[in-house]
């Protein structure tokens, strides 16, 4: 096992734009990751299991609901702090960040934004402390990029609803205590509801065989005539816009997270290029390797600036969905390209688990697909600038 020597890279002095609180939050997340996660992450990835004992630590660094108000158990931080936490988690592993993103943006966020006061009191403090883990069920076997076509549905039955259908590719599903599920009413309107583990007819089979995001558990959600109290329906918003607004929050976190993965690959490649000697000099002295490294830090720096600005706009409530899409798409693609280049700089060693590169690369193949694929985000930008919908 190699020591985690990561130190962070800040070519344009972005730290000067951060408050003391931002730096404290980031440094606490980084220190926790180095101490508790870096030593075990390669094993977890190989075993294909999320290390569940990390839940308490994630809660302690504020990774569950960073921006949820303190009155509901959240950390009451701003959007930049949320982003910085996601960056530090994904610097270690996208699966670690996934677990936190889902809990924060896809479970706590919809309950906070669209839930009743009773629902907020019942679920949010336990989700913030990690006593409860949640998952988010939007994608179905036949409806991925087009979630509006979903077939999961419910019928009314007195003070309950009867839920039928299935969701797949659901992060955290195998061990989640609750699922925020999106389903159609008899009128065909999409609603969010909280389904609890233990409700009869509700199962969460694990999905196996992933070569990516192996340190995150992924599963299905199967609903076979599940009786859910009507009190579990999120009352404050319905329609496809409700789940899509949650995705805005998660996609924003991913934009920051991807910078973390890219920084880790760059950090490792830079160090390796100075340590590895060929033809009697460090390979970092050759122009071709310098080109790779220089382009990496240029792309990372551009992404840091873009993402910080989206963070400011989001904090002011002014970031548009299309702006967030651009940041998610740009940064994940940037990180994947950097992982591929960093792999080459490491030569044969780059394919081993002595270095984090292949793990990041494999993880990023999921990140570029979930929360809206690379192409879907391009079409979102295309629609935003032309007014023409090229999806349908």
- 3-state DSSP percent of the chain in helix, strand and coil, to 5: 55, 15, 30
- 240 is an interface residue for ligand TGC by CB under 6 A: yes
- 245 is an interface residue for ligand FAD by CB under 6 A: no
Rounded CA-CA distance 88/94 in Å is 10
> At 277, which helix (H) or strand (E)?
strand 277-278
Q: Is 341 a catalytic residue?
A: no
Rounded CA-CA distance 88/27 in Å is 9
The partner in contact with residue 240, picked from ligand TGC, ligand FAD, none with C-beta cut-offs of 5 to 8 angstroms by kind, is ligand TGC
CB nearer to ligand TGC: give 185 or 301: 185
Rg (CA), the chain: 21
- 137 is an interface residue for ligand FAD by CB under 6 A: yes
Rounded CA-CA distance 331/303 in Å is 6
Q: How far is the CB of 94 from ligand TGC (least distance, A)?
A: 8
Q: Report which DSSP code applies to 231.
A: G
The partner in contact with residue 333, picked from ligand TGC, ligand FAD, none with C-beta cut-offs of 5 to 8 angstroms by kind, is none
User: In the bound complex, which residue of the shown chain has the CB atom lying closest to ligand FAD?
Assistant: 144
Scanning 31-39, 124-132, 340-348, 369-377 for contacts with ligand TGC by CB under 6 A, the matching segment is 369-377
**Count of residues making up the chain:** 392
- 131 is an interface residue for ligand FAD by CB under 6 A: no
Q: Report which DSSP code applies to 206.
A: B
Rule CB under 6 A: choose which of 116, 129, 145, 301 binds ligand TGC: 145
- Distance (Å) of CA 356 to CA 72, 266, 350: 36, 11, 8
Q: How far is the CB of 360 from ligand FAD (least distance, A)?
A: 14
Rule CB under 6 A: choose which of 235, 294, 375, 389 binds ligand FAD: 375
Map the footprint of ligand FAD across residues 162-201, applying CB under 6 A. 169-171
Active-site residue set: 371
């Amino acid at each position: 096992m190699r020591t985690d020597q990561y130190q962070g890279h800040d070519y344009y002095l972005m730290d000067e734009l951060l408050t003391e609180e931002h730096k404290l939050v980031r440094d606490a997340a980084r220190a926790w990751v180095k101490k508790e996660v870096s030593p075990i992450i390669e094993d977890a990835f190989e075993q294909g299991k999320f290390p569940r004992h990390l839940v308490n630590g994630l809660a302690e660094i504020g990774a569950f609901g960073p921006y949820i108000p303190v009155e509901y158990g959240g950390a009451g931080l701003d959007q930049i702090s949320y982003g910085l936490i996601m960056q530090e988690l994904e610097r270690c592993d996208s699966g670690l960040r996934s677990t936190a993103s889902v809990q924060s943006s896809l479970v706590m966020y919809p309950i906070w934004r669209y839930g009743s006061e009773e629902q907020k009191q019942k679920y949010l403090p336990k989700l913030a402390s990690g006593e409860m883990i949640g998952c988010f069920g939007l994608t179905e076997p036949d409806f991925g990029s087009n979630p509006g076509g979903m077939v999961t549905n419910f019928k009314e039955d007195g003070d309950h609803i009867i839920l039928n259908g299935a969701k797949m590719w659901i992060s955290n599903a195998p061990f989640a205590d609750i699922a925020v599920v999106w389903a159609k009413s008899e009128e065909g309107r999409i609603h969010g509801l909280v389904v609890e583990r233990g409700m009869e007819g509700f199962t969460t089979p694990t999905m196996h065989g992933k070569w990516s995001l192996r340190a995150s558990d992924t599963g299905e959600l199967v609903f076979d005539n599940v009786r859910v109290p009507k009190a579990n329906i999120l009352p404050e918003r319905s329609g496809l816009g409700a789940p899509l607004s949650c995705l805005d929050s998660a996609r924003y976190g991913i934009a920051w997270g991807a910078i973390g993965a890219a920084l880790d690959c760059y950090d490792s490649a830079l160090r390796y290029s100075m340590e590895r000697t060929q033809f009697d000099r460090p390979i970092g002295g050759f122009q071709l390797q310098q080109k790779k490294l220089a382009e990496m830090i240029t792309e990372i720096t551009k992404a840091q600036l873009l993402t910080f600005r989206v963070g400011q706009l989001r904090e002011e409530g002014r970031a548009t969905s299309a702006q967030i899409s651009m940041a998610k798409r740009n940064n994940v693609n940037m990180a994947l390209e950097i992982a591929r280049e960093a792999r080459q700089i490491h030569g044969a060693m780059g394919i081993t688990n002595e270095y984090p590169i292949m793990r990041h690369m494999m993880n990023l193949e999921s990140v570029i697909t979930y929360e809206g694929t690379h192409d879907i985000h391009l079409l979102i930008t295309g629609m935003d600038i032309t007014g023409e919908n090229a999806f349908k």
